[in-house]
């Protein structure tokens, strides 16, 4: 049964990722908003829904290591595993210099999480701060994109489907991501726990991988369709949402305990891989995450997983 849930989850997540890309690109065209901003906001929110579900379930089950390990592990996997695999299949081109702003926000969120966790807990107040920062970032992103679009003299590409259909596809794809991830996580977690793996390792590996599958499906399909701004934007945006939205909302509902091992080891990996991403994106005006860079990211992720299990 666990194996069947795994397979069903993967299939649903893949097709949901396809629908999410199609809907998001058309929403961007309808509202004169760049696909990068749509990737950082709308798509990121949809693909972060599984992390929110898992973290809320875990914290109310007194499994804080899974709750926060899921987010930290997912942020590591989004860059090292997802972007690594996507760029090996289809090299990802960077079209906009503005990506550095989103990267900087991701770093602020990551370092902020480290500071908030120093006392081994993410409290209600810190959760509120995360949510306020997220709201400010979203408003700034949309405002900046609409301003740039108005100043752009190039002809704006027309949407392929109506606004109503775009919203419909987005809603269906988000529901698909929700249930697909839930089934995948349940199957994977049951299989892992049967082998006697700790909650921290389960959260950082099995559950984090399961909740990163939506990002993998969405980014891969976006890259194949040459919507590379969504590929990069989705990954960076997801990492921002995972910290500010998922942990922010979760800690507002119930404070999250953080173990010393997560702070000392896994937070360092999360921040280090985020810094490496900027280096790989250079030069921002015409950078490419090539296949060899993808292999390097993937090997880095394999090394991290190996260290967790030794």
CATH number, domain of 46, equals: 1.20.1420.30
> pLDDT digit string (tens) for 69-91?
989 999 999 999 999 998 998 88
- Report how far apart, in Å, the C-alpha atoms of 12 and of each of 21, 48, 159, 173, 187 are: 14, 16, 25, 9, 14
d(Cα 240, Cα 245) in Å, to the nearest integer? 8
Residue pair 230/43 in contact by the 8 Å Cβ criterion:
yes
What integer is the mean pLDDT of 35-54? Answer: 71
pLDDT of residue 154: 47
Considering the chain, what percentage of its residues have pLDDT values greater than 70? Answer: 89
Instruction: Note the pLDDT tens digit of each residue in 113-144.
Output: 999 999 999 999 999 999 999 999 888 877 77
Q: What is the distance of C-alpha 116 from the center of its chain? A: 20
Q: Provide the domain limits for residue 287.
A: 2-309
How crowded is the C-beta side of 246, counted as CA atoms within 13 Å? 35
Domains contained in the chain, number = 1
Residue with the bigger pLDDT between 189 and 149: it is 189
Confidence of residue 1 (pLDDT cuts 50, 70, 90): confident
Q: 237-251 burial string, b = 16+ CB within 10 Å, else e?
A: bbbbbbbbbbbbbbb
Q: Say what the pLDDT of residue 240 is.
A: 93
* Distances, alpha carbon 266 to alpha carbons 70, 262, 297, in Å: 11, 5, 16
Average pLDDT over residues 272-288: 84
Number of other CB atoms surrounding residue 293 within 10 Å: 22
pLDDT at 64 over 60: yes
Higher-confidence residue of 219 and 111: namely 111
Q: How far apart are the first and last CA of the chain?
A: 29
Q: How far is CA 45 from the centre of its chain?
A: 8
């Amino acid at each position: 049964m666990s194996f069947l849930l795994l397979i069903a989850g993967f299939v649903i997540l893949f097709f949901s990722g396809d629908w999410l890309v199609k809907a998001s690109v058309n929403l961007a065209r309808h509202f004169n908003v760049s696909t990068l901003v749509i990737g950082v906001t709308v798509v990121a929110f949809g693909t972060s829904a599984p992390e929110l579900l898992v973290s809320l379930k875990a914290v109310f089950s007194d499994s804080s290591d899974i709750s926060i390990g899921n987010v930290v592990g997912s942020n590591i996997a989004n860059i090292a595993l997802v972007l690594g695999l996507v760029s090996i299949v289809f090299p990802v081109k960077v079209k906009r210099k503005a990506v550095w702003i989103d990267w900087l926000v991701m770093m602020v969120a990551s370092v902020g999480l480290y500071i908030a966790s120093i006392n081994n807990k993410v409290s209600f107040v810190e959760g509120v701060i995360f949510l306020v920062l997220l709201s400010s970032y979203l408003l700034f992103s949309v405002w900046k994109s609409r301003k740039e679009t108005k100043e752009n003299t190039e002809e704006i590409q027309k949407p392929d489907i109506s606004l109503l259909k775009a919203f419909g596809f987005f809603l269906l794809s988000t529901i698909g991501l929700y249930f697909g991830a839930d089934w995948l996580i349940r199957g994977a977690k049951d299989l892992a726990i049967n082998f006697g793996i700790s909650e921290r390792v389960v959260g950082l590996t099995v559950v984090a991988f399961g909740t990163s599958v939506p990002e993998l499906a969405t980014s891969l399909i976006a890259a194949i369709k040459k919507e590379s701004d969504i590929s990069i934007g989705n990954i960076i945006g997801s990492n921002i949402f995972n910290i500010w939205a998922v942990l922010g909302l979760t800690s507002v509902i119930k404070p999250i305990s953080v173990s010393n091992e997560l702070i000392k080891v896994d937070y360092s990996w999360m921040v280090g891989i985020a810094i490496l991403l900027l280096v790989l994106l250079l030069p921002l005006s015409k950078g490419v995450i090539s296949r060899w860079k993808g292999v390097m990211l993937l090997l880095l992720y394999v090394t991290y997983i190996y260290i967790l299990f030794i």
